[in-house]
Amino acid sequence: MTTISANTACCKSFALDPLKMKDWEIAEAAEATMKPIGDIADDLGLIDDELIPMGKYIGKVDFMKVLDRLNGRPQGKYIDVTAITPTPLGEGKTTTTMGLVQGLGKIGRRVVGAIRQPSGGPTFNIKGSAAGGGLAQCIPLSPLSLGLTGDIDKITNAHNLMMVALTSRMQHERNYDDEKLAKRNLRRLDIDPARVQVKWVIDFCAQALRNITIGKGDKMDGFEMESGFAIAVSSELMAILAVAQDLADLRRRIGKMVVAYDKQGNEVTTADLEVDGAMTAWMVEALKPNLMQTIEGQPCFVHAGPFANIAIGQSSILADRIGLKLCDYLVTESGFGADIGFEKFWNLKCRYSGLTPNAVVIVATIRALKMHGGGPAVKPGLPLPDIYKEENLGLVEKGCENLIAHIETVKKSGVRPVVCINSFYTDTEDEINLVRRIAEANGAFCALSEHWLKGGEGAIELAEAVVEACREKNEFKFLYELDMPLHERIETIARDVYGASGVTYTPAAKAKLDLFEKDPQARKLGTCMVKTHLSLSHDPDLKGRPTGWELPISDILVYKGAGFLVPVAGAIKLMPGTGSDPAYRRIDVDTDTGRIRGLF
């Protein structure tokens, strides 16, 4: 078996210094010594036509050929990376994923990463891209951040084709009687415009499109009704991409998507609209995972999308299955904190894939712990208050209540977590030692990692802790079984993961709950919660480990294709908004070289 080697020449040749360089400058310098994608594929052990080059440094992988060839081969160790409740700036989960991959490479392990593709919304808004940072990045940065191989575009087109099919059908049924419909080989679906379940999608944070009226004009201009847009990565199609096992499974799931209800209360699916086949045609190439590399030259799959607060937020099952057959350690990423990303990895992704983790990494920063301990608000686009750059053991200790909650969540799955202290250069030794003592006292492994500053070399302690954790025998178990009634599942997640004292429902949500409880098919679906990522609760202003609160469910969506019921907690939106100082103000092109500047 080929050894997956690290490309450390880039760091030596360019004297990369994260303290003096922006992430895009580091990425641009490192890209000068990238391996061609064919070499990455060779290192990974791909053969013949299993790699589909998409330019010199990016490829797609024919998963069916790989899985057929490697059927029966033992799989590697499976590691999930999650986090504590983050600040609005994020705590470096992708950076840690890349750093851990590089660190495992440094200690001689065959390792592959699996991360999610950045969405255009955050990339051009406040949070930026999702390539990692410092000396722990996935490259090349610009293609990764600006559409990659077009998977999100394909999801957008397939989803909006569904909306075209829906709205045109509603127009034609209004304009034609049954005889004219029959001549066009159409049956009347009698769609209830008040019970349309989906909106259009676009991959930007466009709050002005959340609520719109469509179809204005005369009878040939469409069916007039209230509609709107969600962000593309929240589409059920992205969830389907994340959980689909093969093309046949993708096709079956797309055909089960519920678009609306008719006036008698029956489901109207994409199959009823006869658009499911065409939607699948858009998605065929998107089903193939993308192959890239870390800044040190290890293979990294990039597949499926972000936003675990409003979607499943996981790297794809297919990317994980391929990676586990090709390496000794597969490091995959779940969105946001363990209350959201890991909970969905644990109870949805693992349930559907049949895979179980050998280790779970919880990323924590001193900065976030201080915020949870009562520090001042962290505002994107504004300078970080000085208290976050100075030693304050009291804030750190109080903030560790949030860390303990996430440790307890992971332990409920039967896995002993590894707490990664993602080091910032402003952290002090006493602050780090305090977190280490608290993490270990609460039953976790703990490791300091300086991957942002030092790359793989700085992640060796973390890599060794993960290897040790993988040696432990765990007793993985789900939080709930699918025969548990939906209301009990929601309450179990709310109490045991979020720390709520109970659950409340709006009348509309309660009516849907009662309907789904009576539906034998709906009762078998998983539960994919929608909740803010900025708090363990539904309220983003409640930091630390809040107690004495109830989780308010405002709606329940149905994603029958993906296999989920989706309870919506609080006032969270499926279309984020763009802030007052978005990243696009600093992104530009060097017209002499064509290089992109300003991505982060």
The residue from 238, 265, 283 where one domain ends is: 283
The answer on 499 and 403 residing in a single domain is no
Residue 237 has pLDDT above 70, yes or no: yes
The answer on 298 and 155 residing in a single domain is no
Tell whether 23 is covered by a domain: no
The answer on 316 and 173 residing in a single domain is no
The answer on 175 and 49 residing in a single domain is no
pLDDT, average across residues 247-262: 98
The residue from 471, 505, 536 where one domain ends is: 471
The residue from 246, 267, 283 where one domain ends is: 283
The answer on 110 and 75 residing in a single domain is yes
The answer on 443 and 317 residing in a single domain is yes
Kindly report, residue by residue over 503-538, the tens digit of the pLDDT. 999 999 999 999 999 998 888 899 999 999 999 999
CATH label of the domain that carries residue 526 = 3.10.410.10
Q: Give 308's pLDDT tier (boundaries 50, 70, 90).
A: confident
Closest CA to 526 of 569, 495, 565: 565
Give buried/exposed letters for 274-289 (b at 16+ CB in 10 A, else e): ebbebbbebbeebbbb
Domain limits for position 432: 45-149+286-471
CA angle centred on 136, ends 15 and 25, rounded to 5°? 50
pLDDT, average across residues 557-569: 95
The answer on 294 and 277 residing in a single domain is no
Closest CA to 478 of 323, 354, 309: 354
Tell whether 38 is covered by a domain: no
The answer on 322 and 229 residing in a single domain is no
CATH label of the domain that carries residue 109 = 3.40.50.300
Kindly report, residue by residue over 570-593, the tens digit of the pLDDT. 888 889 999 888 889 999 999 999
DSSP string, 339-393: IIIIHHIIIIIHHHH----SEEEEEE-HHHHHHHTTPPPP-TTSPPPGGGGS--H
Which residues lie closer than 8 Å to 281 by C-beta, 6 or more apart?
Answer: none
User: Could you give the CA distance from residue 482 to residue 565 in angstroms, rounded to a whole number?
Assistant: 12
Tell whether 387 is covered by a domain: yes
pTM of the model: 0.94
The answer on 464 and 347 residing in a single domain is yes
Kindly report, residue by residue over 433-468, the tens digit of the pLDDT. 999 999 999 999 999 999 999 999 999 999 999 999
Residue 5 has pLDDT above 80, yes or no: no
CATH label of the domain that carries residue 240 = 3.30.1510.10
Q: How many domains does the chain have?
A: 3
Residue 25 has pLDDT above 80, yes or no: yes
Tell whether 594 is covered by a domain: no
Tell whether 19 is covered by a domain: no
Tell whether 58 is covered by a domain: yes
**Mind telling me the catalytic residues?**
93, 95, 116, 127, 308, 336, 424, 452
Cis upstream peptide for 383 (omega within 30°): no
Give buried/exposed letters for 37-53 (b at 16+ CB in 10 A, else e): beebbebbbbeeebbbe
Q: Which residue has the tokens 């586990």?
A: 324
Residue 167 has pLDDT above 70, yes or no: yes
Tell whether 557 is covered by a domain: yes
Residue 383 has pLDDT above 60, yes or no: yes
Residue 90 has pLDDT above 90, yes or no: no
User: Could you give the CA distance from residue 155 to residue 390 in angstroms, rounded to a whole number?
Assistant: 45
In the chain, the largest separation of any two C-alpha atoms, in whole Å, equals: 80
The answer on 160 and 116 residing in a single domain is no
Q: How many CA atoms lie within 13 A of 301 on its CB side?
A: 33
The answer on 212 and 165 residing in a single domain is yes
Q: What is the pLDDT of residue 381?
A: 75
User: Could you give the CA distance from residue 323 to residue 332 in angstroms, rounded to a whole number?
Assistant: 9
